[in-house]
């Protein structure tokens, strides 16, 4: 047994060979030099035959014909494709809404510092510019107390104002300073423009060098425009070195549409706010006002505002008309919409804007009415935010053409369109009865999609509705959209 084990060990140490490769003997065949394919000489010989030559030429011709055909097709598509309309010159105040905070202490509990703390909220509302103040020191009807380069101690310090400006710019929000002279007096201009003209010029130069994006003057009148006061201010604006253009803004009250048109022509202001769209006026007149101001002037210089220090809040202008109806109108008109603090939730005149800060985290509510009011205000704010977002990103709403389609004593419909962009149709009925509108325009399709509505039960969002005879219930507004058809 021992000898047998030794022999087996010797066998394990032996090298593996073809004859001895384990327990199974496999014979590996030698290279038999099998020939695969054609040799080089054979390939050259076959490639030179007449059949292969003709095939190569046919493929070459087909390649170049296909290449030339694609090139010709691309040229035809480029030539026949509709040309894109050049974008008109736009400034920052044409790219979204302006938000007025006239009373800083009513807006927050912490003055200018409190406004800075609310910049995130303003950014969420897609606000492009903030009209702040007036915050300078003056006693009513006392010209000798006017100091346009100071900051009222009640609202904060100049350092806090500069900090607010810096933080607002980081969030893409421009700030315009309201320098209306006697904002607490009987006449904001002290009945003597020449007496304060130099003070205003000095203040404009002072604040613009601080980095402010514009100056606002309220209650402009024709007698002010007839002087060289506003042109002299424009010289200061033109001399200011800024990466973005600073704006001279103004507002008018109590003027007719013809007077506003004349003031727009002569004043030289970059943006003029008008409140001519009186909720008590018939829709026919409102359509005429819009058409006259739009057709005679660039919409980049038009601002629409129905609220403010002298006008009161938007919700108080016409309590019988839903607030969202006015939101729809102002956001879809040609020009810049301007709102006052609290308009986005429906605060009435006298209500403190700080009420807005309790909407998300309210105290425990046992009153069902208070809860319903809060929920309604949140819904109104969401509606406002959706419109603000549309205004900033849709070309038809930013600088599109305005086409009046229908007007009656209690209703209005108009179209906004730009080149090959999405079209928007605004339809409003603030009356007490339903209105059936027949809308005629070559650009209108048979149907359009509901984008936003104040009455989701009647016209639900995303629903397709016929434009041949469009019926609106009382107190209803709807924003429709449809694509460019070519």
pLDDT in tens, 149-178: 999 999 999 999 999 999 999 999 999 999
Residue 11: its pLDDT value, please?
53
pLDDT in tens, 18-68: 445 455 555 555 555 555 667 777 777 777 788 888 888 889 999 999 999
Mean pLDDT confidence for 214-229: 90
Beta bridge partners of 97: 127
Please check the confidence at residue 7 and state whether its pLDDT lies above 80: no
Mean pLDDT confidence for 472-482: 95
Domain ranges of the chain: 93-393, 401-482
Beta bridge partners of 437: 470
Residue 18: its pLDDT value, please?
47
Residue 86: its pLDDT value, please?
81
CA 405 to chain centre: 24
Query: Distances in Å between the alpha carbon of 235 and those of 177, 225, 248, 331?
Result: 18, 15, 11, 32
Our CA angle for 454, 460, 464, nearest 5°, is 120
Average pLDDT, the chain: 87
Among 148-162, 221-235, 379-393, the range scoring the smallest mean pLDDT is 221-235
Mean pLDDT confidence for 195-213: 93
Q: Give yes or no on whether 93-393 and 401-482 have one common fold.
A: no
Q: Which of 200, 205, 108 is nearest to 160 (CA)?
A: 108
Neighbours of 67 (CB within 10 A): 10
Residue 292: its pLDDT value, please?
87
Q: Could you tell me how many residues make up the chain?
A: 486
CATH of span 401-482 = 2.60.40.1180
pLDDT in tens, 265-310: 888 899 999 988 877 788 888 888 998 888 767 788 999 999 988 8
Please check the confidence at residue 373 and state whether its pLDDT lies above 50: yes
Residue the block writes with tokens 């702040």:
132
Neighbours of 356 (CB within 10 A): 19
Residue 115: its pLDDT value, please?
96
pLDDT in tens, 410-422: 999 999 999 999 9
Which of the residue ranges 36-40, 89-93, 242-246, 331-335 has the most confident prediction, judged by mean pLDDT? Answer: 331-335
Rounded to two decimals, the pTM is: 0.82
- CATH fold label, 93-393: TIM Barrel (3.20.20)
DSSP letters along 114-167, please?
Answer: HHHHTHHHHHHTTEEEEEE---SEEETTEEEEEETT---TTT--HHHHHHHHHH
CA 12 to chain centre: 87
């Amino acid at each position: 047994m021992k000898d047998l084990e030794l022999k087996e060990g010797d066998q394990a140490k032996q090298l593996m060979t073809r004859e001895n490769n384990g327990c199974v003997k496999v014979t590996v065949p030698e290279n038999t030099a099998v020939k695969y394919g054609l040799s080089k000489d054979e390939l050259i010989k076959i490639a030179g035959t007449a059949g292969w030559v003709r095939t190569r030429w046919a493929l070459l011709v087909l390649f170049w014909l296909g290449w030339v055909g694609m090139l010709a097709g691309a040229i035809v598509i480029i030539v026949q494709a509709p040309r894109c309309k050049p974008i008109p010159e736009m400034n920052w105040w044409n790219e979204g809404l302006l938000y007025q905070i006239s009373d800083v202490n009513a807006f927050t509990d912490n003055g200018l510092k409190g406004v800075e703390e609310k910049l995130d909220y303003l950014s969420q509302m897609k606000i492009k510019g903030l009209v702040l103040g007036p915050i300078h020191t003056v006693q009513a009807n006392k010209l000798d107390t006017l100091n346009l380069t100071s900051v009222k101690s009640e609202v904060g310090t100049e350092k806090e104002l500069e900090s607010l400006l810096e933080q607002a710019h980081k969030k893409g929000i421009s700030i315009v300073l309201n320098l209306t002279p006697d904002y607490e007096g009987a006449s904001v201009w002290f009945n003597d423009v020449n007496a304060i003209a130099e003070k205003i010029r000095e203040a404009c130069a002072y604040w613009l060098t601080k980095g402010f994006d514009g100056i606002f003057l309220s209650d402009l009148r024709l007698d002010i425009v007839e002087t060289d006061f506003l042109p002299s201010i424009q010289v200061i604006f033109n001399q200011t070195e800024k990466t973005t253009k600073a704006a001279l803004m103004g507002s008018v009250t109590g003027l007719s549409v013809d007077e506003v048109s004349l003031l727009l022509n002569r004043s030289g202001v970059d943006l003029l706010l008008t409140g001519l769209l009186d909720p008590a006026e018939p829709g026919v007149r409102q359509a005429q006002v819009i058409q006259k101001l739009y057709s005679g002037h660039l919409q980049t210089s038009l601002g629409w505002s129905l609220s403010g220090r002298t006008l009161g809040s938007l919700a108080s202008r016409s309590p019988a008309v839903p607030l969202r109806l006015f939101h729809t109108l102002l956001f879809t008109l040609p020009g810049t919409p301007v709102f006052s603090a609290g308009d986005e939730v429906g605060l009435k005149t006298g209500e403190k804007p700080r009420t807005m800060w309790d909407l998300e985290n309210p105290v425990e509510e046992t009153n069902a009415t208070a809860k319903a009011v809060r929920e309604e205000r949140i819904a109104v704010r969401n509606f406002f935010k959706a419109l603000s977002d549309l205004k900033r990103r849709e070309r038809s709403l930013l600088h599109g053409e305005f086409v009046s389609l229908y007007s009656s004593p209690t209703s209005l419909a108009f179209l906004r369109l730009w080149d090959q962009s999405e079209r928007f149709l605004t339809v409003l009925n603030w009356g007490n009865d339903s209105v059936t509108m027949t809308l005629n325009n070559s650009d209108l399709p048979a149907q359009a999609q509901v984008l936003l509505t104040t009455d989701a039960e009647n016209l639900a969002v995303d629903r397709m509705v016929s434009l041949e005879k469009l019926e609106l219930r009382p107190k209803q507004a709807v924003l429709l959209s449809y694509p460019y058809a070519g």
